[in-house]
Amino acid sequence: MTRPVYILGGYQTDFARNWTKEGKHISAMIREAVTGGLASTGVEAREIEVGHVGNFAAELYAMQGHLGAFLVDVDPAFGGLPTGRHEAACASGSIALLAASAEIEAGRYESALVVGVEQMKTVSPAVGGDYLGTAAWYEREAKGVEFPFPKLFGKLGDEYEKRYGLKDEHLAAISAINYENARKNPKAQTRTWYMSNDHACGSDQYNAVIGGRIKVSDCSQVTDGAVALVLASEAFATKWAARRGLTLDQVPRLLGWGHRTAPLTFDAKVEESRGNPFILPHTRRAITDAFGRAGVADCWALDGIETHDCFTTSEYMAIDHFGLTAPGESWKAVEEGVIALGGKLPINPSGGLIGGGHPVGATGVRQLLDAYLQTTGQAGAYQVEGARRFATLNIGGSGTTTCVFVVGT
C-alpha cells in the first residue's frame, strides 16, 4: 500500500434488536453507530474528514436512499463532510471500506468514518427474501422464487457433494460452532438462543427445510444492525496513539486486501470453475491477493478468520478456499476441531453471520471491527488468545463479489 491505513476501533449495535419494533428510523441506527464509534475510539467528530456508508438495499427495506448524507445529521461538526454510500449486495460494507481506505492511501484524507448499516425487520421474511433476490440476477434467479438465496447456497453444497462428497453433519457442526461462539458475544443476535449439533443435524418441525439442502440451522439471521469503524493515516494514527498511551505498532493496520467479482449467476460460476479444484476460484483469488499484499504466506500465519457464513455452505467453502485443507476436504478441519474457538485456526469466534447476525450492508464492517477487537485483545469472552493477525472474508451474492482483508499489528 502506498500509505498505510490504521484501524482505530469502532462500535457495533446490539444485533438482537428490532429497530422497527422500537419505532426507529434507519437514521437512528446510523446515529448510534457513529456516536458509539467516536466515543469508543476517543476521536472527535471534528477530526473526521470523510464518511463512507455501506448499505445493500435501504431503498427497498426502508424506502430511503442517499444514506451517506445521514452522517451529516449526526453531529454539527460533520457539516460539509464528504460522504457516499457503497454497495455490492452482502459485501457492501467491504466496498465502503475499500473506498475509504483508498482515499486515505491516496492522501486525500487523514481519517475516515465507515458505517455499515441494514434495517431488515421492516418487512415479512417472504418480502425480505424477495428483496435479497436483488443481490442475485433477480429476473433469472430470484423472481417468483421463494427464498432464492438458501436455494442458491444449497446449490453450492450440491456442487461440493458432486465434486468431492459432502455430509450434512459437517454443515450442522459448522452451525453449532457459530451458535456456540455467539453465546460468548454480547452483541450477537442469537446469544440467548439454543442450538446444538444434534438439533442442527435434525430435519423436523423444529428445523425446517428452507430450500434445497438448507435448513433453518444452516441460515444466517435476518438482522437489524449498524457498525461504525474509524480508519486513519499513519500521521493521524501516530498522534491518536500517543494520546491513548499506545505505541503505533499496537494499532492494527490493513495489511492487505483482495477484491474480485465472479459472474453473477450461480450456474455461470459453476460452469466457469469446472475442472478447477476451487468451486469459487475468484473467491480463492481474492484470498491469495490479500495474502500477497499482506506478505502472508498462507492461512497458518493467521490467528483467526471472520468469514461470511450466510449459510453453512459458504463457511464450508471458505475453509478450503482459505487453504485450511485441500480443496473439497473442509470437513477435515471441522472434524479435527481446527475452526473451533481454541482450535488451530478459529473461524468466526464472534459467531459469524449464523450466530452473530447478518445485517447485510453492515457485515463487512462488523467483520473488520471484530478483527480489530481480536488483534488488540479486546474481544472479551470470544477472544482468540494472543491474536495478532486476522482475516475477513465478505461475499456479495452467490459468491459474486468477494472482499478480503488481512488485519494485524
What residues make contact with a second copy under the rule CB under 8 A?
1-3, 25, 27, 50-51, 56-57, 59-60, 63-73, 79-89, 95, 98-99, 102-103, 105-108, 131, 134-139, 143, 259-264, 272, 282, 285, 396-397, 400-401
- Lookup result for grid cell 491477493: 289
Phi (first) and psi of residue 256, to 5 degrees: -170, 160
For 92, residues 6+ apart whose C-beta sits below 8 A from its C-beta are 54, 55, 56, 86, 116, 360, 361, 364, 396
Supply the minimum distance, in Å, between the C-beta of residue 127 and a second copy.
12
Q: Report the DSSP beta bridge partners of residue 66.
A: none
**Smallest distance, a second copy to C-beta of residue 76, A:** 9
Element (H, E) at 111: strand 111-118
* Contacts of 66 by beta carbon, 8 Å cutoff, 6+ apart: 85
Residue in the structure block whose three cell numbers are 459437517: 170
Categorise residue 255: left if φ over 0, alpha if ψ from -120 to 50, beta otherwise. Answer: alpha
Q: Which is nearer to a second copy, 124 or 247 (CB)?
A: 124
Backbone angles phi, psi at 42, to 5 degrees: 70, 20
Which C-beta is closer to a second copy: that of 387 or that of 393? 393
Question: Kindly report the CA angle at 38 between 36 and 43, in degrees rounded to 5?
Answer: 160
Residues 356, 350: contact at Cβ < 8 Å? yes
Q: Answer yes or no: are the C-beta atoms of 230 and 9 closer than 8 Å.
A: yes
> Whose Cβ is closer to a second copy: residue 234's or residue 272's?
272
Cell of 341: 474457538
Q: How many CA atoms lie within 13 A of 122 on its CB side?
A: 18
- Output 207 or 400, the one with its CB closest to a second copy: 400
Closest CA to 266 of 403, 399, 88: 399
- Smallest separation, CB 200 to a second copy (Å): 29
Residue among 349 and 396 whose Cβ is closer to a second copy: 396
Measured from the CB of residue 62, what is the shortest distance to a second copy in angstroms?
8
Q: How far is the CB of 265 from a second copy (least distance, A)?
A: 9
Q: Residue 259 CB, nearest distance to a second copy (Å)?
A: 4
User: Is 182 or 287 the residue whose CB approaches a second copy more closely?
Assistant: 287
Judge residue 208's burial from the number of C-beta atoms within 10 Å of its C-beta, 0-12 exposed, 13-18 middle, 19 or more buried: exposed
Q: How many CA atoms lie within 13 A of 38 on its CB side?
A: 18
In the bound complex, what is the minimum distance in angstroms from residue 256's beta carbon to a second copy?
Answer: 12
What minimum distance in Å lies between the beta carbon of 224 and a second copy?
Answer: 17
- State which residue, 87 or 306, has the beta carbon closest to a second copy: 87
Q: Which is nearer to a second copy, 27 or 350 (CB)?
A: 27
